């Protein structure tokens, strides 16, 4: 008996995974931007975000590998739309005309955290499907899900630190407490 899902199920899974692939492209672009813009203002934040960005990039490659194993074609127009949405998101008002608002890093961390939450949901979905589809590697999905949880922890620590920088100290104070590097390994 063939354990592959029927064609309409595969089509739906293709839409679902391509949507997540577009989200991954958006997340990588947004994370790189955050790391680049904060490199002078807050090097510890930039370094921590770069580390998460590397992992998100690896996760995106893992998703592509899974899509290949499921014979799901990549829909490039969805990736382009995700990148366009990321660029449009940069146009939001932030209370400042010429320079970055103290809110910008916190809001970007929240956006990244939401993206990782979505990615974790996708890994859980695929993990559930792996019980019936031998093309999905349950062990690989478990590892991807564990990494997503670590990324969530890191991003939440960074976000909470940024709350202090943005609200309690007016955001422009250079003497915010340092990012504890052991938290991000």
What does the buried/exposed string (b/e) look like for 87-116 if buried means 16 or more CB atoms within 10 Å of the residue's CB? eeeeeeeeeeeeeebbbbbbbbbebbbebb
Q: How many domains does the chain have?
A: 1
For residue 152, being part of any structural domain is answered with yes
For residue 181, being part of any structural domain is answered with no
For residue 97, being part of any structural domain is answered with no
Average pLDDT over the chain reads 83
CATH of the domain at 114: 1.20.1260
For residue 70, being part of any structural domain is answered with yes
Is the per-residue pLDDT at 82 higher than 50? yes
pLDDT band for 141, please (50, 70, 90 cuts).
very high
Q: What is the pTM of this model?
A: 0.77
For residue 82, the enclosing domain spans 7-92+103-172
Is the per-residue pLDDT at 1 higher than 60? no
CA distance 106 to 126: 30
pLDDT at position 179 is 54
């Amino acid at each position: 008996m063939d354990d592959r899902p029927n064609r309409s199920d595969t089509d739906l899974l293709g839409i679902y995974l391509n949507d997540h692939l577009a989200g991954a492209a958006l997340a990588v672009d947004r994370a790189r931007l955050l790391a680049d813009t904060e490199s002078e203002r807050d090097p510890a934040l930039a370094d921590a975000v770069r580390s998460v960005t590397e992992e998100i990039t690896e996760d995106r490659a893992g998703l592509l590998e899974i899509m290949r194993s499921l014979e799901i074609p990549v829909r490039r127009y969805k990736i382009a739309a995700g990148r366009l949405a990321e660029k449009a998101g940069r146009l939001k008002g932030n209370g400042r005309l010429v320079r970055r608002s103290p809110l910008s890093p916190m809001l970007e961390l929240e956006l990244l955290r939401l993206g990782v939450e979505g990615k974790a949901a996708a890994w859980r979905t695929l993990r559930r499907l792996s019980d019936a589809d031998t093309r999905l590697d349950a062990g690989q999905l478990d590892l991807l899900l564990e990494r997503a949880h670590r990324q969530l922890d890191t991003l939440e620590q960074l976000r909470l630190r940024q709350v202090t920088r943005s609200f309690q100290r007016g955001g422009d104070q250079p003497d915010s407490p340092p990012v504890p590097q052991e938290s991000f390994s």
